[in-house]
Structure 1
Amino acid sequence: MSGGAAAPSTAITIGEPSADAAARAPAAPSAPPAPAQKARFAIFRRTKDGAGWKRGLAFFGFILRIFAFGAALTAAIVMGTTDETLPFFTHYYQFHAEFSDLPALLFFVVGNAIAAGHLVFSLPLSIITICRPQAVGPWLLLLISDTVMVALTAAAASAAAAIVALAHSGSEKANWVAICLRFDGFCQQISGAVVVSFVAVVLLMVLVVISALAMRKR
């Protein structure tokens, strides 16, 4: 047999793909962006254990505590600076009115000053209730101390209100004249201090209610 021409062989190259093939290859899909994490201490965020609404109460109570401090401090300062001297006087008497002349007004200043100090020192405890609304201890301390302050400020404001009413209208049966007929500036200042003090009493009562609600299990 005679040998024929050998058939051409096909060479297959095994190796890395060419640059053109790599360019034609589809790009790998990019990973989706990670969802943004929610704030850990969202104020009114709903949680299974009910901590969200308690944190909201704690934040609201913190704001009210600042306003109550301002009201109690303002009442104490306004009453403590009340002083008026009439421009006319006799050879033996000089007509002068000051808050310290009446024990009820002095008690008013002391009571509101104590309440203002309590509200300042209770702010860190109020911050703890915002961070840990489920903790019962801070809420209980705030409930007890705020209740005591409600009683103190209410007693001080009521005693001063009685003096203010007597100064404005006097008492015919006791033969006490209305000093506001002469000491107009003095009466206006102590009246304003009593009104502001009652505002502090109302805010403290709201704080007591907030603490009582937050101590509920649900």
Structure 2
Amino acid sequence: MDSTKSTDEAAINIAELKSAEGKAPATHDVITKATPNPSGRAKRGIAIFDFVLRICALVAALAATSTMGTTDQTLPFFTQFFQFQASYDDLPTFTYFVVANAIVSGYLVLSLPFSIVCIVRPRAAGARLLLLIFDIVFVAFTIAAAASSAAIVYLAHNGNSNTNWLAICQQFGDFCQQVSGAVVASFVASVVLIFLVLLSAVALRRH
């Protein structure tokens, strides 16, 4: 009877070992699947940062557009028939500045859904590549507008004695302050767009 009992216990132990061996790979698979992918997490973090930067660039571009577009000053010590007035649309460079920054603002609004797609699907290389191409284009567009307007603002502040261009900021102080602020905001938008280009390049490099 003891031999029969020993045989039964040996059979039970063998069955338990086989059962444990059969379940071990399944447990390993569950652990492997539950382990988060660090690369995917990093790409999602880059995409979230990209979205935040796009909002910052949008705010800066809108501020530049609205500030320059509402710039207008009339000197108060002249009669209504004889006035000195300074407005942004008196200069084609400032008009271009307003149009360029308005277009950049529109692009940044349209790019937000693509940035959200990159957050939801961090491995979507197509949306990221599209954003990279358009970001490069609008970086050049924004810098061109800001740089050309900065040259006019410099002349307004300092003039140019060689060409007999007088500095007008002593008389039109408010006008010069507004256009200077608009140019600074546009340069901020340009810098943020450059960071967006670098982020997109890093995200694509990780693919």
Query: Under TM normalisation by the shorter chain, which class is it?
Result: 0.7 to 0.9
Match of 2:130 among 127, 141, 147: 141
Q: TM-score, normalised by structure 2?
A: 0.80
Match of 1:210 among 175, 199, 204: 199
**CA displacement at 1:189 relative to structure 2:** 0.5
Match of 2:116 among 127, 146, 150: 127
Quote the residue 1:115 is aligned against. Answer: 104
Quote the residue 2:74 is aligned against. Answer: 85
Quote the residue 2:178 is aligned against. Answer: 189
Q: Percent sequence identity over matched residues?
A: 57
Q: Following superposition of structure 1 onto structure 2, how do residues 146-185 of structure 1 map, counting pairs within 5 Å?
A: 146-185=135-174
SS at match of 1:89: coil
* Contiguous gaps of at least 5 residues in structure 2: 1-34
Once residues 64 and 87 of structure 2 are traced to their aligned partners in structure 1, the CA distance between those partners, rounded to angstroms, is 15
1:217 and 1:67, CA in 2 relative to 1: closer, same or farther beyond 3 A?
A: closer
SS at match of 1:94: coil
SS at match of 2:77: strand
Query: Are 1:47 and 2:48 matched, yes or no?
Result: no
**CA displacement at 1:51 relative to structure 2:** 1.5
Once residues 53 and 91 of structure 1 are traced to their aligned partners in structure 2, the CA distance between those partners, rounded to angstroms, is 63
1:91 and 1:116, CA in 2 relative to 1: closer, same or farther beyond 3 A?
A: closer
Query: Are 1:60 and 2:55 matched, yes or no?
Result: no
The one of the two structures with greater contact order (alpha-carbon pairs below 8 A, sep at least 6) is 2
SS at match of 2:75: strand
Instruction: Extract structure 1 runs of 4+ deviating beyond 4 A.
Output: none
**CA displacement at 1:140 relative to structure 2:** 0.5
Once residues 58 and 80 of structure 2 are traced to their aligned partners in structure 1, the CA distance between those partners, rounded to angstroms, is 45
**CA displacement at 1:88 relative to structure 2:** 2.1
Whether contact under 8 Å (1:88, 1:95) holds in the other structure is no
Once residues 216 and 169 of structure 1 are traced to their aligned partners in structure 2, the CA distance between those partners, rounded to angstroms, is 46
**CA displacement at 1:91 relative to structure 2:** 8.3
Aligned residues: 173
Q: TM-score, normalised by structure 1?
A: 0.76
SS at match of 1:180: coil
**CA displacement at 1:217 relative to structure 2:** 3.7
Whether contact under 8 Å (1:161, 1:194) holds in the other structure is yes
Amino acid at match of 1:115: V
Once residues 195 and 147 of structure 1 are traced to their aligned partners in structure 2, the CA distance between those partners, rounded to angstroms, is 20
Coordinate RMSD, CA, aligned: 1.5
**CA displacement at 1:46 relative to structure 2:** 5.0
Once residues 213 and 76 of structure 1 are traced to their aligned partners in structure 2, the CA distance between those partners, rounded to angstroms, is 30
SS at match of 1:134: coil
**CA displacement at 1:168 relative to structure 2:** 0.2
Amino acid at match of 1:171: N
Deviations 1:8-32 (A, max 9, x none): xxxxxxxxxxxxxxxxxxxxxxxxx
SS at match of 2:205: coil
